[in-house]
Amino acid sequence: MARSRGTGYLLGIDNGSQSTKVAVFDERGAVHARARVPLRPSDSPRPGVVEHPDDDLWDSIGAATRAALRDFDGEPGEIRGVGLCTIRSCRALLRADGTLAQPVLSWMDERVSRPYEHVDPAVRHVTTSSGYITARLTGQFRDTAANYRGEWPIDLGSWDWVDDPGIPRRMLFDLVLPGDQLGTVTADAAARTGLPEGLPVFATANDKAVEALGSGLGDDRTALLSMGTYIAGMTAGAHGVRDAEAFWTNFACRPHEYLYESHGIRRGMWTVSWLRDLLGSEDRLNEGAAGVPAGSDGLIAVLDWLAPVDKPFRKGAFLGFDGRQGPFHLYRAVLEAIALTTCANVRDMAAELGTGFERVLVSGGGAESDVLVQVIADAFARPARRAPGGAALGAAICAGAGLGSFGGFDEAVAAMVHPGEEFRPDPAAHERYRELGEVHRRLRTHTDPLFAWLATTGR
């Protein structure tokens, strides 16, 4: 599309694991309105099944968009484009008209880690959450290629479908690249969201890649730590790497570029939210945890609040109570476990890539905690900088690039992404975390036998 810089606003939709966030930006990246609507708790009627109830994803996007537009001091007609970003690794099974044949399968559902099995004759389309929301927003059966990895018949090199007898091509959506137009807002979607009918909607990628774009990640000497419900480290890559052990290759939000992603923590910041709901406000916990010494006076958290599929017996735990600790120790121990686990995973990725990271960016909900970002800087012994933009900004950048408001993704990122506060590592705290990191690496060799035994007892 020809470049045509102009005035106006860009709206980014970030449909995450715990909430939907919508923000309106100008072309300098300034926020002019934002809203957040929590998702309803997932339904888990039996082990291994985790579904989004009813039509919760679409309902939350409609509610968050309407709320953001109420907060917007301009007119909806001044918004020039929408970037759509949704949770990755979900599976949506649709009827012929694009409505749900059953609730959307969460990324935590064991079925999404297996090839699709066609058992319901009402299902005519198999897609991601972004494909489903695109159909609801625009009426088009199109989706971004960059939200398909895992058990999908897509080629890592070409970003296109390959033949697969398990999912006939007629059941799959047409693919487009990030920044391509998916369609325009229909009359029905306009009534649901408050967006103007006919407004262009643009493709992004998977939510981690969109977050990376909105955080300004663009080189292989920087590690981005995504502090969301699923926590992982990422860095930029030039080609698809197959069969790596310490990381996997994900599609980036720049067409035909890649992200290398470390092993992660399931229910990472969800665990922090769970603890906050038990112990009090997050501001109070952060303030109190700042006064707890590095190492939490010997208290250690084991983070398996959601066990991995290959080790379903694992559980979360706190170890090392001796009477000195209180609620702030519990909170800090979880933050330290997140930082140390992520640091170990990112270093394993760096070793396999044969590189090192000079700086760390921190994005997601966890980036709002001064204590967590400082612990990350201390654990990595690297400066850690907040990346405040996130996936909503990344989605808006895709819309701006697609509209031709910028001369490409790089120019859009340079114009709209602005670095946040930097935290410098403390040498003494780093030495403590270096020792504690070795303890964390060995913990599960001791806790796995215990939890495996407990699983056999039904406790």
Q: Domain with 370 in it: what CATH number?
A: 3.30.420.40
Instruction: Report which of 77, 101, 99 is spatially closest to residue 24, judged by C-alpha positions.
Output: 77
Instruction: Verify that 124 and 15 share a domain, yes or no.
Output: yes
Q: Is 318 inside a domain boundary?
A: yes
Instruction: Verify that 396 and 444 share a domain, yes or no.
Output: no
Is the model's pLDDT at 270 over the cut of 70? yes
Instruction: Verify that 190 and 290 share a domain, yes or no.
Output: no
Q: Is 229 inside a domain boundary?
A: no
Q: Is 240 inside a domain boundary?
A: no
Instruction: Verify that 395 and 380 share a domain, yes or no.
Output: no
Instruction: Verify that 353 and 400 share a domain, yes or no.
Output: no
Question: 363-398 pLDDT, tens per residue?
Answer: 998 999 999 999 999 999 999 999 988 999 999 999
Instruction: Verify that 100 and 144 share a domain, yes or no.
Output: yes
Q: Is 218 inside a domain boundary?
A: no
Q: Is 237 inside a domain boundary?
A: no
Structural domain count, the chain: 2
Instruction: Verify that 332 and 398 share a domain, yes or no.
Output: no
Asked whether 392 and 22 are in contact (CB, 8 A), the reply is yes
Instruction: Verify that 334 and 449 share a domain, yes or no.
Output: yes
**DSSP string computed for 206-231:** EHHHHHHHHTT--STTEEEEEESSSE
Instruction: Verify that 97 and 159 share a domain, yes or no.
Output: yes
Q: Is 217 inside a domain boundary?
A: no
Instruction: Verify that 309 and 406 share a domain, yes or no.
Output: no
Question: 396-441 pLDDT, tens per residue?
Answer: 999 999 999 999 999 999 999 998 999 999 999 999 999 999 999 9
Pairing of strands 9-15, 19-25: antiparallel
Instruction: Report which of 363, 271, 40 is spatially closest to residue 279, judged by C-alpha positions.
Output: 271
Distances in Å between the Cα of 42 and the Cα atoms of 19, 364, 416 are 12, 21, 34
Q: Is 241 inside a domain boundary?
A: no
User: b/e map of 147-171 (b: 16 or more CB within 10 Å)?
Assistant: bbbebbbbeeeebebeeeeebeeeb
Distance CA 123, CA 175 (A): 19
What pLDDT was estimated at residue 329? 97
Cα four-point dihedral sign 368, 374, 377, 383: positive
- Residue 351's domain spans which residues? 268-386+426-459
What pLDDT was estimated at residue 458? 67
Question: 25-42 pLDDT, tens per residue?
Answer: 999 999 999 999 999 999
pTM for this prediction: 0.91
Q: How confident is the model at residue 5 (pLDDT cuts 50, 70, 90)?
A: very low
Is the model's pLDDT at 2 over the cut of 60? no
Question: 48-88 pLDDT, tens per residue?
Answer: 899 999 999 999 999 999 999 999 999 999 999 999 999 99
Is the model's pLDDT at 290 over the cut of 50? yes
Is the model's pLDDT at 286 over the cut of 90? yes
What pLDDT was estimated at residue 459? 56
Instruction: Verify that 320 and 207 share a domain, yes or no.
Output: no
Question: 156-214 pLDDT, tens per residue?
Answer: 999 999 999 889 999 999 999 999 999 999 999 999 999 999 999 999 999 999 999 99
Query: Hey, which residues does 19 pair with through a beta bridge?
Result: 38
Instruction: Verify that 311 and 404 share a domain, yes or no.
Output: no
Q: Taking residues 103-130, what's their average pLDDT?
A: 95
Q: Is 248 inside a domain boundary?
A: no
User: How much of the chain, in percent, has pLDDT values that exceed 90?
Assistant: 92
